[in-house]
Each structure stands twice: as structure tokens, then as C-alpha cells.
Amino acid sequence: MEAFFSRLSRFIVRLSAVAGCCFLVLNIADITVGVIARQTAGVSLVWTEELARFSMVGFVLIGASSAFAAGDNMSIDFVVNVLPPRWRAFCRFISFLIEAVVLVVLIVYGVQNVMGSWTMRTMALKIPRAVPLMAVPAGMGMLLIVLVASRFERRKDRK
């Protein structure tokens, strides 16, 4: 089971990095097109702002798994680090539980939000609102798998 989670986690981290990079490139290209259109033709393309927002949300939520695996997540652990080893382990376990519960809640409500928004369209791009909203359950699901896999890795390292 640990090996399965480890392989799955590595795949998700790579997928997260590639997809996050694609969203970032899309965001940069979109903003560039908007600026060039405004400066050269004096035209403000309405869809560029919406696409920039959606691609930034996708970049952050889908790329979160890769950032977490690289240790780039924000953490305030100076208090935990001075605790005795037993208390340190307990605090890290409680932290893991809280993170997992929050991610599960975000996944559940994210899926509900996606399911309820297929009939609504975005203002400029005219795509179903569910399309950009899928980044929430997808990104948080990927992050949950990487979180669980990292917990297995920590347990394996302690043995």
C-alpha cells in the first residue's frame, strides 16, 4: 500500500508541476495579449481578464501538490521543534489530521459547487462555470494524496 501511494504521489507531483507550468504560461501569454491589444490597438479584450483569473486559480490550486512535495508550503513550527520528540510527533499527527479534514471538506464542497454550476456560463468566455471551478476538487484531491503519501514516507523513515 505504501509503495502504491509513493508511486501515485510521484506521478501527481509531476502532473501538478507540468499542469501548474501550463497554467502559468497561459496566464503570462493572456496578460501579454491583453496589454499588447490595449497599447497597440486601443482595444480592451474583455475575455483576457477572466482567463487571467481562471488560469491563476488553476496555477495555484493544481500546482499546490508540487509545491507541498518540494517543502514550499508555509509552516510555523518553531514551537513544535522545541518540544520533546513525543510531543513533536503528536503535534505533527494532529496537524496532519487537520490538514486532511480541511482538504476533504474542500473536495466535497468543491464537487458540489462544480455539479451545481454546469448550467451557468462565465461572463466573457461563455464557458460553463464548472470548468474553472474543477480546479478546487482536483487540486485539493491531488494535494490530499500527496499529503497521505508524505505521511507514509515519514512513518517509513522513522522505522
Cβ-contact 146, 12 below 8 angstroms: yes
Cβ-contact 122, 129 below 8 angstroms: yes
pLDDT at res. 159 = 55
Q: Is 5 helix (H, G, I), strand (E, B) or coil?
A: helix
pLDDT at res. 73 = 74
Tens-place pLDDT, residues 49-96: 999 999 999 999 999 999 999 987 777 777 888 899 999 999 989 999
Nearest to 60 by CA among 157, 144, 143: 143
pTM value is 0.89
How many helices (H) and strands (E) would you count in the chain? 6, 0
CA-derived radius of gyration, the chain: 19
